Amino acid sequence: MYDYIEKVLISEEELKEKTIELAHMVSNDYKDKKLLVISILKGGFVFTADFIRALSIDVTVDFMSVSSYGAATRTSGVVQIRKDLDNDIKGLDVLICEDILDTGLTLSYLKKILIARGAKTVKICTILNKPDRRVADIEPDYVGFDIPDEFVVGYGLDFAEKYRNLPFVGILKPEVYAEY
Ligand code: IMP
Ligand code: MG
């Protein structure tokens, strides 16, 4: 069926189990807080949708779309905000929901912006983490899976905007990249 997939790294069942586990931890930690989940588009939307439905506490949700400009800003970590939040975050306990923490440049910049806007706390919840790739001084507060330094797709993650809809996390066959 998925003849472009070389290997399934994390199955649908494993993702489901882990997402519920993370939601239970967050529900416990944010019991008496004003939780705002910020989903980072586009990659974070699939995980966010599953994650918030497993929370047992009140939550509000907002969305942001960010992207890095190019080589120069890649090292400085400055990102462009393509879609900003709809609402004020002053005094809220913000939890950023991401698909993957890679170099960490995007989120370390974003975290500073959100703190400057008056968020009470800013934490990071990511379903995937590539610790070997880290450049910025940032660690996730909640992590689903640490994965090796390989390019993955599925569960929100894309290659050239495709494969976000796969219910699992997998690695593409080399010939798929060769087409580009
Ligand atoms: P960084 O942490 O600033 O390097 O940026 C992380 C972003 O890069 C993620 O939100 C993804 O959009 C993208 N990314 C990093 N690794 C992968 C991958 O293996 N597959 C697909 N997208 C990735
Ligand atoms: Mg992303």
Give the integer Cα–Cα distance in Å for 66 and 123: 17
Residues with CB in 5 Å of ion ligand 2: 43
| Residue tagged active-site, from 50, 93, 99, 102 | 102
Instruction: Using alpha carbons, select from 127, 118, 125 the residue that is nearest to residue 139.
Output: 125
Length of the chain in terms of residues written:
180
- Beta strand 79-83 with 169-172 is unpaired
100 Cα to the center of ligand 2, angstroms: 7
Note if 102 is an active site residue: yes
| Res 179: pLDDT | 79
CA-42 nearest atom, ligand 1: 12
Token output for 127:
């379903």
Angstrom distance (rounded) from CA 93 to CA 91: 7
Cα distance between residue 22 and residue 48, in whole Å? 11
Q: Where in 11-78 does DSSP place strands (E)?
A: 35-41, 60-68
CB 67 within 8 A of CB 105: no
**Ranges assigned E (strand) in the chain:** 5-10, 35-41, 60-68, 79-83, 93-101, 121-129, 142-146, 169-172
Give pLDDT, residue 178: 86
User: Which residue's CA is the closest to the ligand 1 atom numbered 6?
Assistant: 102
State how far the Cα of 32 lies from the Cα of 23, in Å rounded to an integer.
Answer: 15
Q: What separation in Å is there between the alpha carbon of 55 and the centre of ligand 1?
A: 25
Banded model confidence at residue 78, pLDDT cuts 50, 70, 90 = confident
φ/ψ of residue 78, rounded to 5? -75, 130
Task: Give me ligand 1 centre to Cα 155, in Å.
Answer: 13
| Cβ(42)–Cβ(164) below 8 Å | yes
Mutate to test the pocket of ligand 1, among 78, 102, 128 (most ligand atoms within 8 A of CB): 102
Tell me the whole-structure pTM to 2 decimals. Answer: 0.95
* Rounded-to-integer distance, Cα 168 and Cα 19, Å: 13
3-state SS, residue 157: strand
What digits encode the pLDDT tens for the residues 29-61?
999 999 999 999 999 999 999 999 999 999 999
What is the CA(95)–ligand 2 centre distance, in A? 15
pLDDT tens digits, residue range 90-105? Answer: 999 999 999 999 999 9
Residues with CB under 6 A from ligand 1: 43, 98-106, 151-153, 157
Contact status, residue 85 vs residue 110, Cβ threshold 8 Å: no
pLDDT at 22 over 90: yes
